[in-house]
Amino acid sequence: MINLKTKEEIEIMKEAGYISALALKAAGDAMKPGITTKYLDRVARDCIESNGAKPSFLGVGGFPACTCISVNNEIIHGIPSKSRVIEEGDVVTIDVGAYFKGFHGDNAKTFACGEVPMETRRLLEITEKALQIGIDTAKIGMRIGDIGSAIQKFVESNGFSVVREYCGHGIGRSIHEDPSVPNFGESGKGVLIEDGMVIAIEPMVNVGRPNVVKLKDGWSVVTADGELSAHFEHTVAVTEKGVIVLTDLGL
């Protein structure tokens, strides 16, 4: 069932989104060679809690942390760890959500730690742009398949691939709501996009093949071929005045 949001609910979701974005920025700003992914999780948690919110991810399905931190060939759901030290040249995805006044925000970004090769930089740029294309497609009267199709076409035309097994999602009083928002698909297909729909759009883009493997920790999802992956996400509200990026610090 899709829970469309009222204007008032979207106003509250702006606050949850803003805190989510603050936490993502705080953790990203704290990133440097030699620190652990557990430390970044702590930075994000402190930011969320000092703003009067709660971490959205902690305890979801038993997840043991506030952020998912996925390094290099890890795509999503990496568990922050004291033993995972970030090195110069790593690409690090931080995915974090905040729960505030009954609603969730959710956002993610892949950061380059220090200098990375040109091709890696291009991966991050294409993935971020794919997210923007997805956002631009989220309009009243379009369908969820239009978003996935636009993202997939853009990514594949740039020589990368999109992950199929994990998708964006509706978001609101629950962190994961209907509809599912795949990063691939056919235009004109899928759920109709309506006024008040709030979704997290989150392309996961692989340098190599799209195939994924889940690790024995039960959470971390990595590329099957060991190549790099990137992931950018925003929570957006579709309204009659256009799409609003709720996890935009500029709001």
The residue ranges that bind Mg ion (CB under 5 A) are 106, 200
Which of 15, 106 has the CB closer to Mg ion? 106
Which of 108, 116 has the CB closer to Mg ion? 108
156 token code pair: 């594949």
Which of 76, 116 has the CB closer to Mg ion? 76
Q: Give 3-state DSSP helix, strand, coil % of the chain, rounded to 5.
A: 30, 30, 40
Which of 93, 161 has the CB closer to Mg ion? 93
CB of 202 to Mg ion, least distance (A): 5
CB of 152 to Mg ion, least distance (A): 18
Which of 36, 132 has the CB closer to Mg ion? 132
CA atoms 160, 180, 59, 11: torsion sign: positive
CB of 178 to Mg ion, least distance (A): 14
Which of 75, 116 has the CB closer to Mg ion? 75
Which of 56, 137 has the CB closer to Mg ion? 56
CB of 166 to Mg ion, least distance (A): 9
Closest residue by Cα to residue 224 from 237, 213, 240: 213
Question: What is 82-117 written as a DSSP string?
Answer: TT-B--TT-EEEEEEEEEETTEEEEEEEEEE-S---
Q: Are β-strands 198-201 and 74-76 bridged in parallel, bridged antiparallel, or unpaired?
A: unpaired
CB of 141 to Mg ion, least distance (A): 24
CB of 153 to Mg ion, least distance (A): 22
Radius of gyration in angstroms for the set of CA atoms belonging to the chain, rounded to a whole number: 17
CB of 183 to Mg ion, least distance (A): 12
Question: What is 14-65 written as a DSSP string?
Answer: HHHHHHHHHHHHHHHHH--TT-BHHHHHHHHHHHHHHTT-EESSTTGGG--S
Tokens 């305890």, located at residue: 59
Neighbour tally for 117: CB within 10 Å = 11
Q: For 189, which DSSP code?
A: -
